[in-house]
Amino acid sequence: MAKKKKNPKKAHKAQKSQKPLKAPESSSKQNRRPGDLSAGQIVVRLIIVGILVLALGGSLFFGVAVSAFGLPASSAYDAAAQEQSLSQLDAPSQLDAPDLLNTPRQPKAPSQLFLPDYDIQLGDLIDGRQAAEYREVTEDFPAVAAPYAALCTKEGRILFERNIDTKVTMASTTKMMTAIVGIEALPLDTSLTVTMGAANTPGTHSGLVAGMTVSMLDCLYALLLPSGNDAAVVIAENVAGMESRFVDLMNAKAAELGMTSTLYQDSSGLSVEKHYTTARDYLVLSRYCMANPTFRQIVAAGTHEFTSGGVTISMITTDALSFYLKEATPIGIKTGYTDEAGYCFVGAGQTNGLELYSVVFNNETAERRFVDTANLLEWGFRHYRTIELINTAQQVAEVALTSWLDKTVAAYAPAAVRIELFDLNGPITQEINIEDIAGEATKGQPCGEIIWTQDGDMLMHSEVVIGQTILAPSLWESISIAWQRFWGGFDDEPAHAKTEILLKSELVVPPPLVLE
């Protein structure tokens, strides 16, 4: 059987149509579209995006923080950059006086005088206690720059003190003692002769001329208003013959007043060696001087003028407290300055029937001594004031009348009770003790007492009295009451009314009492 021959053209087509075989591709690669990323590329890009998000979020947080604290962005970074270097600096001692010369000061309106721009110093006392013991002290503390300062009441209660037992020289506040010794030594119309030595006294002058004669009163004005050193020597020489003997009188007066840390060497305050006092002693002297009507009249004056031998002398006070004290009336008393003593001022203020006295020694500027004084006085008047604890119209209790079934009688304080209160010592507690009344109740009859205390100390007490007369039951009324009590006893009914106390145990401190 003959074999069929293959068609060479068909064989060539078949061979040409065959393609070479390839390895199978992965399914992911088979499904990938143009522009798709690999897993590694996705991870890298996610990391980059995360870093950008963190950077953007930190910037936003920083911006919010800066806005919240009101700081420019640069200051926040500067504060962080300087933190380490600042932490290495020694903190200033609390006993160091503030550097007033290098501290920028802005003019203050009167309402801003009391901002606490000077810190509480170690040892500052408020009413005899450490200032830090008062909860309100950081919110309302007198801004005082002077290293030696004090404030007291007219009766001598010291409300604020700073280094008041440290001996310091007191400059022309010395003339307070010169004046009071002169006032007590000679009548005010006594003629005083001005010697050449007195007229040539160094330091501040009132304008007295050698050979002039002046009255004691006019010389006192020359001493206390313009702070004339010449007037101090005139008074000393005319009272005691020479200044040294007059100084002995000054020291004797200081001893008499109990100024145990005070020593004088002259009548004007120019001396430095062994011429000293303390803020505590000068509180004593200020209270004594201001109790003298003549002294008080002179230091309250702003100006004075007199004529002697055809020469007219006009003078003006060195006391500028009236420009700074806005919430009280300034009433004197004396300035002082030397290089060693610094700027000094003993001041006084009055409001609402109360007086306070202040001392500031060794201020660095003339203005600051008046600002310190105003701050002390107005702080004092805010917290030490006259208040009314109770008056006769305020009912204290309904007092049970035990002879009756259900009768009570009103009880009151017999008179208004007013005190001077220092409110920083805390709330006032009222303890009311009332006794029931048996039989007749007579108007004005004592039935108890009120005791007011503050911080554990008794402030005041008062009787409580019946407000009206109520007779006792008659015989037949008594029999009826006894019968009702007998049967009421089976139902546990009370035998008589109960006393009701109407005052609360804690007194809300009222606002200052305005006195006409």
More confident residue, 338 or 103: 338
Q: Helix H segments across 89-212? A: 175-185, 196-199
* Separation between Cα atoms, residue 437 and residue 443, nearest integer Å: 12
Chain center to CA of 269? 31
The boundaries of every CATH 3.40.710.10 domain in the chain are 161-385
Mean of the pLDDT values across residues 283-289?
A: 98
Mean of the pLDDT values across residues 177-206?
A: 96
**470: DSSP letter:** B
Asked whether 387 and 459 are in contact (CB, 8 A), the reply is no
Comparing 136-150, 325-339, 342-356, the range with the smallest average pLDDT is 136-150
Which residues are identified as catalytic?
172, 175, 227
**Token pair for 276:** 């000293």
Residue 420, amino acid? E
Q: Is the pLDDT of residue 107 over 60?
A: no
Asked whether 362 and 334 are in contact (CB, 8 A), the reply is no
pLDDT of residue 369: 97
**391-507 classified as CATH 2.60.410.10:** yes
What integer best gives the mean pLDDT of the chain? Answer: 81
Asked whether 333 and 289 are in contact (CB, 8 A), the reply is yes
Q: Is the pLDDT of residue 80 over 80?
A: no
Q: Is the pLDDT of residue 208 over 90?
A: yes
Residue 42, number of CB atoms within 10 A of its CB: 11
Comparing 15-29, 353-367, 403-417, the range with the smallest average pLDDT is 15-29
* Separation between Cα atoms, residue 454 and residue 289, nearest integer Å: 32
Instruction: Kindly report the pTM of this predicted structure.
Output: 0.72
Q: Is the pLDDT of residue 503 over 90?
A: no
Q: Is the pLDDT of residue 304 over 90?
A: yes
Give the confidence band of 505 by pLDDT, cuts at 50, 70, 90: confident
Asked whether 363 and 375 are in contact (CB, 8 A), the reply is no
pLDDT of residue 425: 84
Q: Which residues 6+ apart lie within 8 Å of 13 measured at CB? A: none
Q: Which residues 6+ apart lie within 8 Å of 444 measured at CB? A: 414, 465, 466
Q: Is the pLDDT of residue 182 over 90?
A: yes
CATH homologous superfamily for 161-385? DD-peptidase/beta-lactamase superfamily (3.40.710.10)
Three-class SS of residue 388? strand
Which residues are registered as beta bridge partners of 263?
Answer: 276
The boundaries of every CATH 2.60.410.10 domain in the chain are 391-507
Q: Is the pLDDT of residue 88 over 50?
A: no
Q: Which residues 6+ apart lie within 8 Å of 76 measured at CB? A: 62, 65, 66, 69
CA distances for 436 relative to 258, 431, 483, 489, angstroms = 51, 17, 22, 20
Closest CA to 437 of 492, 497, 505, 501: 497
Q: Is the pLDDT of residue 479 over 60?
A: yes
Asked whether 158 and 150 are in contact (CB, 8 A), the reply is yes
Q: pLDDT tens, 357-411?
A: 999 999 999 999 999 999 999 999 999 988 889 999 999 999 999 998 889 999 9
pLDDT of residue 135: 59
